[in-house]
Amino acid sequence: MPAFTAARLLTPHQIIEQPWVLVDQGHITEIASRDVRPLPAGTSPVDLGPHVVAPGYVDLHIHGGAGYDVMDDTPEALPAIERLLALHGVTSYFPTTVTAPLDLTLRALERLALAIEAREQAREKNPPAKLANAQSPGARARPLGIHLEGPFISHARRGVHPPAHLLPPKLETFERLWQAARGHIRMMTIAPELEGALELIGAAAARGVCVSVGHSDADFSSVQRAVDAGARHATHTFNAMRPLAHREPGIVGAVLTDSRMTADLIADGIHLDPAIVKLIAHAKGPDQTVLITDATAATGMPDGRYRLGSMEVDVKEGRCISEGKLAGSVLTMDRAVRNLALFAEWELPLAVGAASRNPARVVNINKGVLAPGADADFIVLDDEGHVLRTFIGGVECAK
């Protein structure tokens, strides 16, 4: 079985110098330092060079990439997106819907559920190879659940979500969405101030959905009631939210001060000023700060016109614009990690944790850490955080 070696390993909460990582059938069986123990006899060393091994990144909020949207009705869409994600260090992701006509959303949820189940079935039938020192065109980021962004959001803070297709939070509507997704909805963004929202938050949380407040004009007390009902996260903090004011802290004030909540952010330097990124990171700390990309079909593509769900988005010089408003991003997770480290003045391990361990904790999945028993989803970084290689289940993703 292969034993991967490098200069350093980030678990990410611990740094191991001169590590070796033993992998068998896609899982990590042992991790140690060569300074303490030599490689076990009978292993096949795979030298990753003078670099850093870190957990694969988890993106909770992504709409597309490589010219495709996750809601596209074409078999080429998800594989193309997943290959691009892997190139930038993302090994697991949550395809994110955007508000659209209900019938279109239901069909998209059905397709995404099929894709999630097909990948899981394929993994069970064809477990990762014992030796993982060859690149595989089949190794790409895996969808682990669906993030439902809309339709239960505020008209006042809808961003570019089409107003005609926003819906009031009703249990029967959520049930239709849940059934179409066959229970694969793992995250839902909702405006907690809407009538019926608290009941829906409680029902969704009871099914194991991570309920996230966002696209919301809520005041401080409304968010507190939502957290009491089961909400525990915030979607792209500051963006599409009532602004923070010193006498009316609102949703942002609640998110930044409530220790029961984790918060995600888009660290592209466009959605948030670097000083605000630093503010969020310092307010929530290294365990509750979560990086997302909110990436669109334009990610990895030249400037031009692309689709976000049923909408058209114009992309120029890194900005995605629709109706004169920001509409997602072209951010990649590796750049988000480097930006967070720069903007918040964090060391690389803390920024890596915000893209790996923290998002995995938000949705309660066993990802984002390197430890015995964990999936061998890891990346190879240089000292500045650029992704050099990506391994999923111990198998390297082809470039």
Could you give the residue numbers annotated as active site? Answer: 294
**Do the beta carbons of residue 322 and residue 312 sit within 8 Å?**
yes
Question: CA-CA distance, 378 to 284, in Å (whole number)?
Answer: 26
List, edge to edge, every strand of the sheet that includes 19-24.
Answer: 27-33, 19-24, 2-5, 44-47
Query: What separation in angstroms does the CA of 2 have from each of 51, 326, 357?
Result: 18, 45, 24
Question: CA-CA distance, 204 to 213, in Å (whole number)?
Answer: 13
Nearest to 141 by CA among 70, 78, 188, 187: 78
Compute the residue count for the chain.
399
Q: Can you tell me which residue has the tokens 């909110």?
A: 294
Question: CA-CA distance, 151 to 174, in Å (whole number)?
Answer: 10
Q: Are strands 289-292 and 304-308 parallel, antiparallel or unpaired?
A: unpaired
102 Cβ partners below 8 Å, 6+ apart?
151, 165, 167, 173, 176
